[in-house]
């Protein structure tokens, strides 16, 4: 396995890849070097046929306390423009395998945005979410104004982005931003990933793609897209196997193709 400085990558269970943000002295503040490593690990897991679901987590104290403010503070417009700052901080949204964020502690600013780029968020009761950028004289830059608005609606998103106030795991769950609050958030995220990894990988990836289309297009186009993908799955071994296994009253053995 490659050696990283700011993350850890492991394979804790069959079919499951785990990435742990590991910059404890800065509460996992997100930096360009950290994202280079995260992108590398994500790409490797996405290519690896033995991995079918991913978990992204941080520490007990922090999922990530946002983008690295010390790295950003002296930058000028021309610096961030020329360097295409943040452009490669969203590769996580291009990954085909499902990614479950297991959030404990601070998920602020870019940390909240990174969690929202994942497919499922599970939160510990200790999780503290927020988009505090307004307090730094900036606005969210990793999709916060867009993904939070789609997740919780305009009024709440406006309140949260304009005041920068923190919000709790319980609030996030009641709004549907996180799927549930869990005392053992990493174990539960690994269990969800293990469950997903036990399904047909090709069907799982098709399902993820279809759900994501719901956020990008009209209902009519989305339903048409879903039907086309549904039709396409009749060309897979796993559709044959899944339906044969049902008819024969046995468990399917997936080819993942």
Residue 128 vs 202, nearer CB to ligand CO8: 128
- Residue pointed to by tokens 């990558």: 9
Number of helices (H), then strands (E), in the chain: 11, 10
Least distance CB 170 / ligand CO8 (angstroms): 19
Residue 128 vs 197, nearer CB to ligand CO8: 128
Least distance CB 166 / ligand CO8 (angstroms): 8
Interacting residues toward ligand CO8 by CB under 6 A:
26-27, 29-30, 65-70, 86, 89, 106, 108-110, 113-114, 132-133, 136, 140-142
Residue 91 vs 229, nearer CB to ligand CO8: 91
**What number of CA atoms fall less than 13 Å from residue 75's CA on the CB side?**
16
Least distance CB 99 / ligand CO8 (angstroms): 14
Least distance CB 47 / ligand CO8 (angstroms): 23
Least distance CB 137 / ligand CO8 (angstroms): 10
Q: What tokens appear for 199 in the block?
A: 């399904």
Catalytic residues: 67, 110, 113, 133
Residue 37 vs 113, nearer CB to ligand CO8: 113
Strands of the sheet containing 166-168, edge to edge, are 62-64, 106-108, 128-130, 166-168
Burial of 229 (0-12, 13-18, 19+ CB in 10 A): middle
Q: Cβ distance 178 to 169 under 8 Å?
A: yes
- The CA radius of gyration of the chain, in Å to the nearest whole number, is 19
Residue 106 vs 129, nearer CB to ligand CO8: 106
H helical segments located in the chain: 32-47, 69-72, 77-82, 110-117, 144-152, 154-163, 169-175, 185-197, 201-213, 219-232, 237-247
């Amino acid at each position: 396995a490659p050696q990283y400085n700011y993350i850890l990558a492991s394979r804790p269970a069959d079919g499951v890849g785990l990435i742990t943000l590991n910059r404890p002295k800065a509460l996992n503040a997100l930096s360009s070097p950290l994202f280079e490593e995260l992108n590398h690990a994500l790409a490797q897991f996405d290519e690896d046929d033995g991995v079918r679901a991913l978990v992204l987590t941080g520490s007990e104290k922090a999922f990530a306390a946002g983008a690295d403010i010390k790295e950003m503070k002296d930058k000028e417009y021309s610096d961030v423009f020329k360097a295409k700052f943040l452009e490669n901080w969203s590769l996580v949204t291009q990954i085909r395998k499902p990614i479950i964020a297991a959030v404990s502690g601070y998920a602020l600013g870019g940390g909240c945005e990174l969690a929202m780029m994942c497919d499922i968020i599970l939160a510990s009761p200790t999780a503290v979410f927020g988009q505090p950028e307004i307090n730094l004289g900036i606005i969210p830059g990793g999709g916060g104004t867009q993904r939070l608005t789609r997740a919780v609606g305009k009024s709440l998103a406006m309140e949260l982005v304009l005041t920068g106030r923190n919000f709790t795991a319980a609030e996030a769950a009641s709004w549907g931003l996180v799927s549930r609050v869990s005392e053992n958030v990493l174990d539960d995220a690994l269990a969800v990933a293990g469950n997903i990894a036990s399904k047909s990988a090709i069907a799982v990836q098709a399902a993820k793609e279809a759900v994501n289309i719901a956020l990008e297009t009209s209902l009519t186009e989305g339903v048409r897209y879903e039907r086309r993908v549904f039709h396409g799955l009749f060309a897979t071994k796993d559709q044959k196997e899944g339906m044969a296994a049902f008819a024969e009253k046995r468990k399917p053995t997936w080819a993942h193709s």
